[in-house]
Structure 1
């Protein structure tokens, strides 16, 4: 099978398209023919070993101290089940699925991946029926992160929420979910993305190139840092008494119930992935270079179908 591997940490040039042996599912696993993956922030961070100083050593122990333990990246995927192990009960060949490869031995930058029906870290579920599989690949990580943090923030109907980094993957989902919950949403983004964030459902948008959100004459019940580039101390100036701050820098977790709920939101037309660009697997280096610029809007897809 075609797969993209990397044998050392570094810039996008460390990624190499090659041939690997097709995996075989264990008793509790699904063999998925991958249709699409994404270039998520986690992929570029792990590829470059770009971790905060306080987390650098623990991260390298997890991902590989001297070289990558997991040579194939790709943290989220969509595809079609090709085969199942004898203990698998909730899926069968032909099912359209989406999910994550978190802490599995192989990621989704490959034509096939084996994923457990149930695991401690990775998740898989049947994909939404109302969108194509390529779009479904962009949902798991960003949407589950937004969902988890909005729950942690205890967002309520009519609450006022400010989403910092509203045009990124997590931010685009946070804006849509907060609107669905009946909150009053203010997004923070760059000039080029103002109309996009308004389209997603924000009632007000602050252009951070023209205005500092921490100095606006407005207060919020929740400040949601969707890109990890602001701080609780800065958010305090616009938080109400008892207001909550959440950030993607906080611990989050994946679970099947949330993934299924996300699928239902999509089919109910309450949530939709925003796709910035799409690249074939052969252009994985170019895709990673683009995401490294920091100008990604929403999600960047990797199409695994042969060109």
Structure 2
């Protein structure tokens, strides 16, 4: 099969498309023919070796000192099952599925092996592109807003980085949970943020963070430009701060009403998000590129800082 292979940590040009052996599923796994897979900010960070402050050495020890040990990146895909392991009885070849691969990655290839517990059926009403786009940002926003913060009706939510994958999901899920949402993004994305449910939009290019005001019940930073100290100045008394992209120091000090760290990948959350998309209540904001050889270009778009929503590469029909 063909796959996009990461080399030494570096720019998108370090990626190359090459032929590698097709993996074989173990007992509890399935082999998925990948139809669509997103290229996320997480993929770009791993490819470049560009990690939040303080995480450089721990991340390289875990992922690889000079480049990713797992050379095929990609943690989300939507596709069709080719083969199942001997212990898998809830799926069969030909089933359309969506899921996340976790630390194993491997989705930026024609085929990926995934634990069956990390997969859910793709709703018939959804395209593979939309299904693949829904999970990365959606699971992060859902976990922090619903499970950690307990966001509820009448609260005021400030989302910093509201036009990206995680931020656009936070705007929509925050609104669905009953909050009044203020979106922080560039002026060119004002209309998008409003369409997604923001009651107010702040253009960070013209309004410094110190002028944003300190009356939010929840501040959700999706891009890593707010720290524990600066974020707390934006909160109303008793408010909660979510640092979805936090430094090592802020992650260690996250306690009380400050939340950071990874979001779990749970099949029940996948099903909820996909149902919301199918019912028109959650827009994953998809831009699609065609072909495996578009993955380096997708990384360049992510690196530009101008990616809107989710960037999905379609590998097959």
Does residue 1:205 correspond to 2:201, yes or no?
yes
Does residue 1:299 correspond to 2:295, yes or no?
no
Deviates more, 1:129-138 or 1:25-34: 129-138
Matching residue of 1:256? 267
Does residue 1:127 correspond to 2:122, yes or no?
yes
Distance in 2 between the 1:162 and 1:130 partners? 32
SS of 1:103's equivalent in the other structure is helix
Q: CA deviation at 1:213?
A: 4.4
Distance in 2 between the 1:277 and 1:110 partners? 16
Matching residue of 2:278? 267
Q: Is the 8 A contact 1:206 1:213 kept in 2?
A: no
4+ residue segments displaced more than 4 Å: none
Question: How many residues get paired?
Answer: 301
Q: Is the 8 A contact 1:76 1:137 kept in 2?
A: yes
Distance in 2 between the 1:243 and 1:256 partners? 30
- Pairing partner for 1:229 from 212, 225, 228: 225
Q: CA deviation at 1:212?
A: 2.7
Distance in 2 between the 1:280 and 1:188 partners? 33
Gaps of 5+ in 1: none
Matching residue of 1:194? 190
Does residue 1:27 correspond to 2:43, yes or no?
no
Matching residue of 2:8? 8
Matching residue of 2:289? 278
Matching residue of 1:168? 164
Matching residue of 2:110? 111
Gaps of 5+ in 2: 246-259
SS of 1:139's equivalent in the other structure is helix
Matching residue of 2:131? 136
What do you get for the CA RMSD once the two structures are aligned? 1.6
Distance in 1 between the 2:10 and 2:109 partners? 20
SS of 1:54's equivalent in the other structure is coil
Matching residue of 2:70? 70
Distance in 1 between the 2:237 and 2:207 partners? 23
Distance in 2 between the 1:292 and 1:12 partners? 9
Q: Is the 8 A contact 2:216 2:236 kept in 1?
A: yes
Does residue 1:238 correspond to 2:234, yes or no?
yes
Distance in 2 between the 1:228 and 1:53 partners? 10
Q: CA deviation at 1:85?
A: 1.0
Please report the TM-score for the alignment, with normalisation by the length of structure 2: 0.90
Q: CA deviation at 1:218?
A: 6.0
Q: Is the 8 A contact 2:77 2:107 kept in 1?
A: yes
Distance in 2 between the 1:217 and 1:292 partners? 30
SS of 1:46's equivalent in the other structure is helix
Q: CA deviation at 1:23?
A: 1.7
Q: CA deviation at 1:62?
A: 1.4
Distance in 2 between the 1:40 and 1:13 partners? 17
Please report the TM-score for the alignment, with normalisation by the length of structure 1: 0.93
Q: Deviations over 1:233-257 (max 9, x none)?
A: 2222331110000011221222122
Deviates more, 1:106-115 or 1:48-57: 48-57
Matching residue of 1:177? 173
